[in-house]
Amino acid sequence: MKVLHVGEYVKGGVATYIKEIIDFQSNSDRVDEVYLMLSKNNSEKQLNIQNNNIIFYDYRRKPKYVLRAILEINKSINHIKPDVIHVHSTFAGLYTRIPFFLKKNRPKIVYCSHGWSFLMDIKQYKKIIFATIEYLLSLKTDLIINISNNEQEKSLQFKLPKNKSRVIYNGINEIEKNDEIDISVDNSKINLLFVGRFDRQKGLDILLKYFSNYNNNKINLYVAGSGVLGNQEIIIPENVINLGWIDNTKIDAYYKMFDAVIIPSRWEGFGLVAIEAMKNKKAVIVSNRGALPELVQDGVNGYVFDLDDMKSLEKVFNTINKEDLVDFGENGYKIFKDKFTSKIMNKQIINTYITLFDNNKKY
């Protein structure tokens, strides 16, 4: 089986996902060859794949680059002749599938949006437009991978085909990265860590606004990340410590320094930071949005608060203690091992590829 992965801006969580898949498939006896095509701009370049099996196309998220991207991706597909095209994210899904409306024959196409565009916090008419486009593109798709039950349930409400949809949770490698870091925290306090982009989706502005009026000195908040999309101005109050951007090779060391990780997202297709925290035996405090309540069970491996009622977060902070957080971290690690490792994810993905060539087998 020859597999071609196609992405747009391959960075952050999408890059982590694709790296895990490529590494697994490159060593799988079920896959003969693995290729990756991605934008040469705004994408990570350090990917574990042979140089001649990686193709960068000239692209930026601007109208004048769209046709060029479609043509370059289509040209590579014609050259490689893959058995399976696995497409990652909305724009790559659009550029890859459009030409197949003009072709009779095509490879099997697997699509993962990594968070549906019509589930973002946007106006209803835009949701309908995005969902309609996704429905039309699904006509040239053999399998849709949803990264959470929430994503699948909402996509079915927007009329995407149930018979082509399947949930496969994201997974990450169990190997820990133990690079040393040069920071210290006050262990007499409860130290919380936010990790992510400083953009609207991640809800950091809501959390910082809360902390700007927060007077409980038993809790310290640290934030790690930076603005990526340029659509959010972040003002960090004096009682919050900004760690800047963290190199992914050191992320495990940072998690281990803190008592819990907090995720105040407005919407979240999955929540990779949550399972990174669970892998490192850390409790997770999450908003009640998107897939986050699937990953965090309130009172088991962390807390779930109502993003529309920040008094619910205050209740958490008023009762939180280090002993419970340690127990929640242990519980979270067991959940991670049972559901969210890259090995589990990758076996499910390979199995779905195989079903595409067996008409008698159902997902």
| CATH domain 2-173+342-355 topology | Rossmann fold (3.40.50)
pLDDT band at 362; cut points 50, 70, 90 = very low
Query: Using one digit for the tens of pLDDT, what is the confidence trace for 62-114?
Result: 999 999 999 999 999 999 999 999 999 999 999 999 999 999 899 999 999 99
At the topology level of CATH, where does 190-339 sit? Rossmann fold (3.40.50)
Contact call for residues 1 and 82 (beta carbons, < 8 A): no
- DSSP result, 207-259: HHHHHHT---TTEEEEEE---SSS-------TTEEEEEPPPGGGHHHHHHHSS
Q: DSSP letter at 299?
A: T
Min mean pLDDT across 83-87, 119-123, 337-341 is at 119-123
The pLDDT value recorded for residue 227 is 64
Residues 6 or more apart in contact with residue 153 via CB below 8 angstroms: none
Mean pLDDT (the chain) is 92
Residue 50 clears pLDDT 70, i.e. is over it: yes
**According to the model, what pLDDT value does residue 92 have?**
97
- Where helices occur in the chain by DSSP H, the ranges are 12-26, 63-80, 90-97, 124-138, 149-157, 204-212, 251-257, 272-279, 292-295, 311-319, 322-339, 342-355
Residue 309 burial (10 A CB sphere; 0-12, 13-18, 19+): exposed
Q: Rounded CA gap, 270 and 151, in Å?
A: 8
pTM over 0.95? The answer is no
Q: What share of the chain in percent tops pLDDT 70?
A: 96
Q: What is the phi-psi region of residue 85: left when phi exceeds 0, alpha when psi lies from -120 to 50, beta otherwise?
A: beta
Q: Which amino acid is at 129?
A: I
pLDDT band at residue 363 using 50, 70 and 90 as cut-offs? very low
Structure tokens at 56: 């960068």
Neighbours of 74 (CB within 10 A): 17
Q: Fold identical between 2-173+342-355 and 190-339?
A: yes
Q: pLDDT at position 335, please?
A: 98
Q: Could you tell me the residue ranges of all domains in the chain?
A: 2-173+342-355, 190-339
Under 8 Å between Cβ of 91 and 130: no
* pLDDT value, residue 360: 46
